[in-house]
Amino acid sequence: MPLATDKQSGLTAAMVRERLDYDLATGALTWRARLVVTRDDKTFNIKHAGNEAGCLCPRGYRYLKMRPYGMFAAGRLIWLHVTGEWPPHEIDHADGDPSNNAWANLRSATRSENGANRGRHKNNKSGYKGVSFSDSKGGWITQVALHKKVQKLGPFSTAEQAHAAYIDAATKLHGQFVRLK
């Protein structure tokens, strides 16, 4: 099931609060018991009430289905639950752990800010985020991007020097969203 679009879904903060409890400290979303009107409500309460809502996907994010509104990322529903409004941008997990939905770990971020908080790529060979070796430049280079504008630095004689340049540039460009490792 594809993810629902927030505002077009018709789902409101009141509806989310009616269906889910949220623990600010732990980040746990749990299903609330339904008022038993039908047999389906009774079955739901037996199976789900008090249990953690949704499922963890392979990349670590939690998603849950809010019938009949669609599938939502837990972080977006938590933002709606706590603030009463849909988040203006993406939800960023400050510590980089997508399963940590504690309120102190969630923040609204543009796509570029969220990208700045990503860790080192799996195929990175230098051991440093943003650093690679360039045969054509004859040394280690680094690059930092903001809003699709790339700033290239180097070449440097060592990966450590390139990483120091990356730290300086990334900190200036990304501020609180910078992730250096």
pLDDT single digits (tens) 116-156: 888 888 888 899 998 999 999 999 999 888 878 888 999 99
Q: Which residues contact 143 (CB under 8 A, 6 or more apart)?
A: 130, 150, 151, 152, 153
pTM above 0.85, yes or no: no
Number of C-beta neighbours around residue 69 at 10 A: 16
Q: What are phi and psi of 52, to 5 degrees?
A: -65, 135
pLDDT of 6 over the 70 cut: yes
Do 120 and 112 touch, CB atoms closer than 8 A?
no
pLDDT confidence bin for 12, thresholds 50/70/90:
very high
Nearest to 163 by CA among 118, 132, 135: 132
pLDDT of 126: 92
pLDDT confidence bin for 1, thresholds 50/70/90:
low
pLDDT of 11: 95
Helix (H) / strand (E) element for 165: namely helix 159-174
Mean pLDDT of the chain: 92
Where in the chain does DSSP place strands (E)?
Answer: 20-22, 29-31, 55-56, 62-66, 70-73, 90-93, 106-109, 131-134, 139-146, 149-156
Establish how many alpha carbons lie within 13 A of residue 47's alpha carbon, considering only the half-sphere containing its beta carbon.
7
pLDDT single digits (tens) 61-76: 999 999 899 999 999 9
Do 140 and 126 touch, CB atoms closer than 8 A?
yes
Tell me which of 34 and 181 has the higher pLDDT. Answer: 34
Q: How far apart are the C-alpha atoms of 122 and 9, rounded to whole Å?
A: 36
pLDDT confidence bin for 3, thresholds 50/70/90:
confident
Q: How far apart are the C-alpha atoms of 26 and 174, rounded to whole Å?
A: 27
pLDDT single digits (tens) 89-126: 999 999 999 999 999 999 999 988 988 888 888 888 89
Sheet containing strand 139-146, edge to edge, reads 131-134, 139-146, 149-156
Q: Which two tokens stand for residue 172?
A: 């200036």
